Amino acid sequence: MERKPIIGITSTILDIEIKGEVNPSVQTNHQYVKAVIEIGGIPIVLPVANAEMAREYIDLCDGIIFASGEDVTPTKYNETPSKELQQTNLARDEMELPLVQYAVENKIPILGTCRGLGVINVALGGSMKQNIVTEESEFSHNQEVSRKLPSHEITIEEDSHLFQMLGTKKAKVNSKHHQAINEVADCLRVAATAEDGVIEAIEARDKDAFILGLQFHPEELYAADTHMLNLLMLFREACEK
């Protein structure tokens, strides 16, 4: 019996109060764990540590999911924090940014959602918009309904790897973010956009590398959307290789 691929999932540190005592805890959305199990992988939650530990994670994992969470610290893309910036986690950035770089160097497949898209882009030389204005758009990028429901449509570039994975030029996605990509890293390309021009997906220019960043959350949509399930299954297949 072949071993299932081990897929690391990044996490954050959440202070949980128990009987009046604050306990820093490892936290990631359990939906990532469920999704990895569903596609036939072994989920491993990767605690926030340091760049040295990130190298150890690379040796452990066949693929890595960069999960959602805090804003990427603007100094990591040479900007001063704006007043619209929300919570950041420098310790997490200082582990995850090298983790992206090590994964790319070692040809480990990576998938990023929401914050994860930003982490991949910044780690490889791109930058972020610290806060996007959505009032002039026909839809909000911070939907009020559950993330398990789509809220708007994206357009997928027909020559992209993402188009090959989904087999469609249009897809319905969920949306829970206030940041977006500004400058795309040179080794990446835009794979999909929203109607207002916000970048919804980036991928490697190198067709042989599985590097995919998504502004949306396929781990929340796959149960009701076969396109999203197929995307996750192809990520697992890349991890198997």
- In the beta sheet, which residues pair with residue 16? 23
222 in any annotated domain: yes
Tens digit of each residue's pLDDT, the chain (241 residues): 578 999 999 999 988 878 788 888 999 999 999 999 999 999 999 999 999 999 999 999 999 999 999 999 999 999 988 887 888 899 999 999 999 999 999 999 999 999 999 999 999 999 999 988 644 555 677 766 677 777 789 999 999 999 999 999 999 998 888 889 999 999 999 999 998 889 999 999 998 899 999 999 999 999 999 999 999 999 999 999 8
Q: Residue 108: which CATH number?
A: 3.40.50.880
Per-residue pLDDT at 139: 64
Expressed as residue numbers, the domain containing 170 is 6-240
196 in any annotated domain: yes
How many separate domains does the chain show?
1
Point out the catalytic residue in the list 61, 96, 114, 161: 114
Q: pTM of the predicted model, to two decimals? A: 0.94
Look up 157 and say whether it is catalytic: no
219 in any annotated domain: yes
Per-residue pLDDT at 135: 46
Q: Are 213 and 201 in contact (CB under 8 A)?
A: yes
1 in any annotated domain: no
Phi, psi of 155 (to 5 degrees): -110, 125
40 in any annotated domain: yes
Look up 114 and say whether it is catalytic: yes
What angle (nearest 5°) sits at the alpha carbon of residue 109, between those of residues 104 and 111?
105
DSSP codes, 60-107: H-SEEEE---SBPPGGGGT-PPPTT---B-HHHHHHHHHHHHHHHHTT
Point out the catalytic residue in the list 200, 203, 219, 220: 219
Look up 183 and say whether it is catalytic: no
Point out the catalytic residue in the list 141, 152, 217, 239: 217
Residues with Cβ < 8 Å from 116, sequence gap 6 or more? 10, 65, 66, 67, 68, 213, 214
CA atoms within 13 A on the CB side of 144: 1
